Amino acid sequence: MKSVYKFIQKYIDLWDALAVICYSVFTWYWSSHVKSIITEILAGIPNEGSIIEIVPLGKWLFLFAFYFFIISRKLSKNRKILPFILYRYRYFKTWWKRHFIAMHIIDFIIFIISCVIWGMLELFDENFTNENFGIILVFFLHLSVWISVLVVNDIIFSAKITPCILLIFEGMLYIISVNFNLPFLVCGMYVNCSYSKLGIIAMVVYAIEILTIAICYLIVPKLWKLGYLERKVIGCQVQ
């Protein structure tokens, strides 16, 4: 247990812990009318005809907004000391690998803590089923895609508005999916994009998400090697 605590402490600070507690309690409070946050909020918005559910969409986007905020805060702090950190590494690719993985570990820890708190607040009224696991996995995979985009953007463009753009894009995907009956566009919503609903199409979508994460990881070292990022990132010669 002590080793787990040290591992968590390595990646998140007290502020992060307090933020995730407040976030989890708040989401539980405005979802108190539902039986389970995981099965009825985290699973997404059921696609019922051509009705666009504005309030559920707002709640759905809020889930992502919190994780975007935490990661953006970490990226901002890291960027301030990046020139000094890179000097410790012989190769940029070595630093990038550790940095990319670290951001995903932080996201994973925060997400799991959220799920545990939700379960505690709901007193585990519902048995944890394969469907619960599927919901968590599908949501986290989709979240990981956006986190990968945020991390890559921080290196290539340094655009602070990216989290807002991603939220707008996520909302637009939902609206398009409802209007044109394309449930696979909202691939983070288990209720619309699961194997039981879409079959092989869902598996293809998940594969594309994994491929997107891989591309995000590979593109930065490639651009660095080609010389496109050297001045932008640090302004000095690093192998």
pLDDT in tens, 105-154: 999 999 999 988 887 876 555 566 778 888 899 999 999 999 999 999 99
pLDDT of residue 3: 67
Angle at 150 between CA 162 and CA 237, to 5 degrees: 110
Domain range summary for the chain, segments of one domain joined by +? 2-233
- Residue 190: which residues within 8 A CB-CB, separation 6 or more? 42, 43, 44, 131, 134, 135, 138, 139
Rounded to a whole number of angstroms, the CA Rg of the chain reads 19
Distance of alpha carbon 95 from alpha carbon 151, whole angstroms = 13
Of 2-6, 54-58, 160-164, where does mean pLDDT reach its minimum?
A: 2-6
Among residues 80, 114, 85, 113, the alpha carbon closest in space to that of 99 is found at: 85
pLDDT of residue 157: 84
Name, of 55-59, 87-91, 121-125, 167-171, the range with top average pLDDT: 167-171
Of 55-64, 77-86, 111-120, 210-219, where does mean pLDDT reach its minimum?
A: 77-86
Give phi and psi for 90, each to the nearest 5.
Answer: -70, -35
Q: Does residue 71 surpass a pLDDT of 80?
A: yes
Q: How far apart are the first and last CA of the chain?
A: 40
Long-range contacts of 86-89 (CB under 8 A, 24+ apart): 86/233, 86/234, 86/238, 87/238, 89/238
Query: Stretch 156-181: mean pLDDT, rounded?
Result: 89
Q: Which residue is associated with the tokens 């990226």?
A: 75
- CA 149 to chain CA mean position, Å: 9
> Which H or E run includes 114?
helix 92-121
pLDDT of residue 88: 84
Distance of alpha carbon 24 from alpha carbon 136, whole angstroms = 15
Distance of alpha carbon 184 from alpha carbon 209, whole angstroms = 12
Higher pLDDT, 97 or 233: 97
pLDDT in tens, 3-40: 666 667 777 788 888 999 999 888 888 776 666 777 77
